[in-house]
Amino acid sequence: MKIAVLTGAGISAESGIPTFRGKDGLWNKYDPMDLATPEAFQRNPKLVWQWYDWRRKLIADAKPNKAHFILADLERKYKDLWIITQNIDGLHQRAGSLKVIELHGNIWTVKCLECGVRYREEKTPLKEIPPRCRNCGGLVRPAVVWFGEPLPKEALEKSYSCTVSAEVFIVVGTSAQVYPAAELPFVAKSRGAKIIEINPEETPITPYTDISIRDRASVGMEKLIKILD
């Protein structure tokens, strides 16, 4: 059985990582939506890096939760299971998932605006903010996709190919408001996939689901195992 799983910030909520649009999503007096843009970075790289430094520490201290682990188990059971994640926290990989497509990049990778080099930078907290390129000393930025930026081509293509061939398409913990990720369940549906959603709240996808599990991710994933069996 071919399965694709689209995950969003909600799957990491039980690991203590705040979602964007939830009530705990704010940081100080700033709106993350105003920080995760190339314009914000141009205006004030120090402020944006302070926010990322805070999130990196939070993610470093967090552990994958039951929902991440169940997905890793399912990947071993169903050899054709791919995770398409909007998360940048790397918790799927830490739970043991191997087939993970990161649509929005990864918080542990930086890229240099001067020389273009990309490398992993795992120090937390960072020694210097904003950090400087280890190759040329230029300004580096988090290698994540910000609002208004295109998605990495290869990841996007791979996620479409998994989506169109999926027989079951599972959506976990995403508000389905950020495109093109939010479009994937509809693409899957138009190709005849069964759509299963796990989310405590209703989303724009809910009316199109075959099964809607209105629970938090850990509880919902346990119910999902029984449905797939």
Query: Would you tell me which residues interact with ligand NAD (CB under 6 A)?
Result: 8-10, 12-14, 17, 19-22, 86-89, 104, 173-175, 177-178, 199-201, 203, 216-217
> Quick one: what does residue 135 bind among Zn ion, ligand NAD, none, with the CB cut-off 5 to 8 Å set by partner type?
Zn ion
Interface pattern 90-119 for Zn ion (x via CB under 5 A): ----------------------x-xx----
d(Cα 154, Cα 41) in Å, to the nearest integer? 25
CB closer to ligand NAD, 82 vs 133: 82
> Quick one: what does residue 106 bind among Zn ion, ligand NAD, none, with the CB cut-off 5 to 8 Å set by partner type?
none
> Quick one: what does residue 209 bind among ligand NAD, Zn ion, none, with the CB cut-off 5 to 8 Å set by partner type?
none
Residue type, 55: R
Q: How many CB atoms lie within 10 A of CB 35?
A: 20
Measured from the CB of residue 105, what is the shortest distance to ligand NAD in angstroms? 8
Measured from the CB of residue 154, what is the shortest distance to Zn ion in angstroms? 22
d(Cα 178, Cα 164) in Å, to the nearest integer? 19
> Quick one: what does residue 115 bind among Zn ion, ligand NAD, none, with the CB cut-off 5 to 8 Å set by partner type?
Zn ion
Residue type, 207: P
d(Cα 124, Cα 220) in Å, to the nearest integer? 33
Measured from the CB of residue 143, what is the shortest distance to Zn ion in angstroms? 13
Q: Which of 55, 56, 92, 104 is catalytic?
A: 104
Strand order in the sheet with 81-85: 100-102, 81-85, 3-7, 168-172, 194-198, 211-213
Measured from the CB of residue 130, what is the shortest distance to ligand NAD in angstroms? 20
DSSP 3-state of 143: strand
Is 68 in the active site?
Answer: no
Element (H, E) at 160: helix 153-165
Strands 211-213 and 194-198, sheet pairing: parallel
Tokens linked to 201 = 């709240």
* Residues taking part in catalysis: 104
Q: Which residues bind Zn ion (CB under 5 A)?
A: 112, 114-115, 133, 135-136, 138
